[in-house]
Structure 1
């Protein structure tokens, strides 16, 4: 679904990613792991078009989207959930969801589907997003992205600062969505166990370079932990 080929990217004169190649399987999960500062978030921003690569290509389902703007990538089925459980804090949960659904032909149905995936949000529909817990805000951010009916979902550390029970819910939601088909996920994570349970492919980033990669699954967890400990 997604092919990031030999991408170099960064900010101003600073290069953060050095010829990084990552692929995400169709209807599956590709995981990128690494310590803080490894370049994981920069990789997602380059994939989403928020920063322009200095070299390399980005392909979505075989189409070269390297030079497309973020809104053009959204139109082609990409959605991005950045780090930090982002929402509009002064709007209610329902208003946050409706804001994304407005103008979409199947907006009402998409909201209903998102609430079925995260039923706690239905109970909190009238509460301002700024008053939600971190886990609830993360579920809201996830639901907002899913309302766009994406083919490819980019998730930047969705488990950061989240209680274990909600981590389990998010993991099960990702697996359920990919199992039913029509959605691929590029997951950036530091939670190795979570990432390895979800991913078919993994990549370890260190100082902007891929230092280890292979097939996902729990059998690869020790290999990944060893790569991260170097």
Structure 2
């Protein structure tokens, strides 16, 4: 679904990501792990078109999108949930969802209902301002908004950052349920190794902007990943 081959990205004269290759299969979950400053978020920004690549190619569903701006990638089925549990704080939960649903052709209410089926806790918070929600609730709202765009490729940057463990588990189960029913692939950047490997079919470890380890997901890989991150 998403293939990044030999991707190089940077800011100004500073190179941050050096020749990274990552592949996300159809209906699969891939985790990119690493410490702060490893280049994880920079890699995601290149995937969604926020940052231009200096070298390499990015394919979405087999189509070369390397030079496409973000809005064209969105039209092709890519959705991005950045760090920070972002929402419109002065709008209610329902209004946050409606803003996105209004951009879709028909079926806005049905799309909201589908998103609430994934995160049922939000159903009881529709009249509450997003700025008054907890961090975990805002993160669920951010992912729900992305799902309303009906993506085939969902890109998540640190979805568990600063969130209580019970909500982390809910987000993990939602991701797994979405991919199991088909039609959605996920690229996940995480520092929470246990969560990432439980959710992912495959992982990549980044250090100083380079892939230093990769392998299959699952709890059995936790020791290998932590060893790779300790180097």
What interval of TM-score do these two structures reach, taking the shorter chain for normalisation?
over 0.9
Give the distance between the partners of 1:164 and 1:139, measured in 2 at CA.
13
Displacement of 1:120 in angstroms is 1.5
Paired residue for 1:29?
Answer: 29
Paired residue for 2:164?
Answer: 163
Displacement of 1:103 in angstroms is 3.2
Paired residue for 2:65?
Answer: 65
Paired residue for 2:41?
Answer: 41
| Pair 1:152 & 2:156 matched | no
Give the distance between the partners of 1:79 and 1:191, measured in 2 at CA.
22
- Structure 1 stretches of 5 or more lacking a match? none
Q: Are the equivalent residues in 2 in contact too, given 1:77–1:152 (CA < 8 A)?
A: yes
Displacement of 1:14 in angstroms is 0.9
* 1:114-140 CA-partner distances (Å, limit 9, x unpaired): 111111111110111000000000000
* 1:115-172 CA-partner distances (Å, limit 9, x unpaired): 1111111111011100000000000001000000000000000000000000000000
Give the distance between the partners of 2:29 and 2:149, measured in 1 at CA.
19
| Pair 1:131 & 2:132 matched | yes
Give the distance between the partners of 1:63 and 1:220, measured in 2 at CA.
32
Displacement of 1:35 in angstroms is 0.3
Displacement of 1:61 in angstroms is 1.2
Give the distance between the partners of 2:223 and 2:103, measured in 1 at CA.
47
Give the distance between the partners of 1:6 and 1:198, measured in 2 at CA.
25
| Matched length | 230
SS at match of 1:20: strand
* 1:158-191 CA-partner distances (Å, limit 9, x unpaired): 0000000000000000000000000000000001
Paired residue for 1:99?
Answer: 99
SS at match of 1:103: coil
Give the distance between the partners of 2:103 and 2:77, measured in 1 at CA.
16
Give the distance between the partners of 1:121 and 1:199, measured in 2 at CA.
25
* 1:86-130 CA-partner distances (Å, limit 9, x unpaired): 000011000000000003122211100011111111111011100
When the two chains are superposed, the root-mean-square deviation of aligned CA atoms in Å is 0.6
Give the distance between the partners of 2:140 and 2:3, measured in 1 at CA.
27
Paired residue for 1:52?
Answer: 52
Q: Are the equivalent residues in 2 in contact too, given 1:25–1:200 (CA < 8 A)?
A: no
| Pair 1:184 & 2:157 matched | no
